[in-house]
Amino acid sequence: MDRVTLRGLRVRGHHGVFSHERENGQIFVVDLVLGLDTSAAAASDDLERTVHYGVVAEEVAAIVSGEPVDLIETLAQRIADTCLGHEAVEEVEVTVHKPDAPITVPFDDVTVTITRRRP
């Protein structure tokens, strides 16, 4: 399976279990690895035969900036479902970073990574 990767998509969202996270919001970072067969697109040089990563990026940004959820696990699942809605995408790996998570000890990043496949 071929891969199309988007790394470091930064979007402000209002996700989290604490009221200050919902009120103030924070930056979330999303990485995507889309699994698909790109051979038909490569042979025909036709965008319609692959996934348009610009469209995917806009859809993911709309999810992150949209309806708040408590858990980044839920956010990752919503993103995965949207990516799998593209006909060419057979598998997706989604990593949601929450670099400003409310943790009381020093840390670099908090992430959740999920992999989902088309049934």
Residue 5's DSSP bridge partners are 33
**Domains of the chain, each with CATH number or no CATH:** 2-117 (3.30.1130.10)
pLDDT per residue as tens digits for the range 25-68? 999 999 999 999 999 999 999 999 999 999 999 999 999 999 99
Residue 70 CA to residue 24 CA, distance in Å, equals 14
For 113-119, what is the mean pLDDT? 95
Give catalytic residues, as residue numbers: 98
Measured distance between the N- and C-terminal CA atoms of the chain, rounded to whole angstroms: 16
* pTM (2 d.p.): 0.96
Q: Is 7 exposed, middle or buried (0-12, 13-18, 19+ CB in 10 A)?
A: exposed
For 11-22, what is the mean pLDDT? 96
User: Which pLDDT value is given to residue 119?
Assistant: 82
Residue 32 CA to residue 80 CA, distance in Å, equals 9
pLDDT per residue as tens digits for the range 62-104? 999 999 999 999 999 999 999 999 999 999 999 999 999 999 9
